[in-house]
Structure 1
Amino acid sequence: MSDTPELPWPVPDERFRHWASQFADMHDLVRDLVIPCGLPQAAESVLTTARELIRMSYYRYEFMMIGAATSIIAIETALTDRYGKGTLASHLGKARADRLLTEEQYDLLDSYGRPIRNRYAHGDLTHAVLTPPLAIGMVRTSITVLAKLHATARPGTAAASE
């Protein structure tokens, strides 16, 4: 007999029962979170991780918040690359002013995304309330915004010269 106990197989998180009756339903929930070709590898990796964390939230509800926060951090990084030093709030405002974000995207990222990112950064996700549609909306918005940012890179950057 081994001295190290085996971890149990994951079991569905009871909090997800209203959204998916079986893990296979999670594929349908995240089906439209398609990562576009041509994104930088780092952005593609982060967005894929965010999508998969939402899929795996069937087993641990908090993964959904971490997936949404991860996608917001990817946007924060891209906006910092574009605008330089500053806060996520100020960068979102600049992106809205530059028409890189629609009003709806700005509201979603500023009203919901920023607080979730802040809770994640400070280790306080236990009280975050987020539904799957809202988390999926944040990741979908992150995908759209990162694709747009990559396509409209500033002159002189690698993406602009492709």
Structure 2
Amino acid sequence: MSETLELPWPVPDTRSPLLADQFADMHDLVRDLVIPPGLPQAAESMLTTARELIRLSYYRYEFMMIGAATSIIAIETALSDRYGRKTLAAHLKKAHADGLITEEQYDLLNSCGRPIRNQYAHGGLTHAALTPPMAVGIVHTSITILAHLHATPGPSAT
């Protein structure tokens, strides 16, 4: 007779009081992270996953950082489609120079988002310090940029 191992119901992370009093309050945190229609399926899926990871960070705080990193990876993919294979840093500089992202967006993505993405990609994202407003800001910026990128015809990669 085989025994079934059932996982326990999720319990709030001990740091959850920093986020919300109860899980239902997490909806307010991500309420403005609206995925616009018309994005390619891959971008829509990654952004939805990023948003939901932030919502679920009530149960595992690190999900917030992984959500932010996921949204940065979605931007990196879109910029690679637009500019060809380069580093994320080079893509962000080019997108800023081309006026696709503002100075504020560039600063947020380059100084906060890019290091989080790098830590996540290289297995170092375990104790990154990221506040809920910063995580939401990164995902919101990612949504804005991807909506803009997919609404604007891109130059051929050179």
Is TM more than 0.5 here? Answer: yes
Cα distance between partner residues in 2 of 1:43 and 1:126: 25
1:13 is the counterpart of 2:13: yes
Displacement after TM superposition at 1:4 (Å): 3.1
Q: Secondary structure at the match of 1:99?
A: coil
Residue in structure 2 matched with residue 112 of structure 1 by the alignment: 112
Q: Which deviates further from its counterpart, 48-57 or 146-155?
A: 146-155
Cα distance between partner residues in 2 of 1:19 and 1:149: 31
Q: Cα RMSD (Å) of the superposition?
A: 1.3
Q: Secondary structure at the match of 2:150?
A: helix
Q: Secondary structure at the match of 1:17?
A: helix
Q: What does the per-residue CA deviation read over 1:98-117, in whole Å, with 9 as the maximum and x for residues that have no partner? A: 00000000000000000000
Residue in structure 2 matched with residue 91 of structure 1 by the alignment: 91
1:61 is the counterpart of 2:61: yes
Alignment gaps of 5+ in structure 2 = none
Residue in structure 2 matched with residue 70 of structure 1 by the alignment: 70
Aligned pairs, number: 156
Residue in structure 1 matched with residue 134 of structure 2 by the alignment: 134
Q: Secondary structure at the match of 1:14?
A: coil
Displacement after TM superposition at 1:90 (Å): 0.5
Q: TM-score, normalised by structure 1?
A: 0.93
Q: Which structure would you say has the larger RCO, counting Cα contacts within 8 Å and 6 or more residues apart?
A: 2
What amino acid sits opposite 1:10 in the alignment? P
Residue in structure 1 matched with residue 124 of structure 2 by the alignment: 124
Alignment gaps of 5+ in structure 1 = 157-162
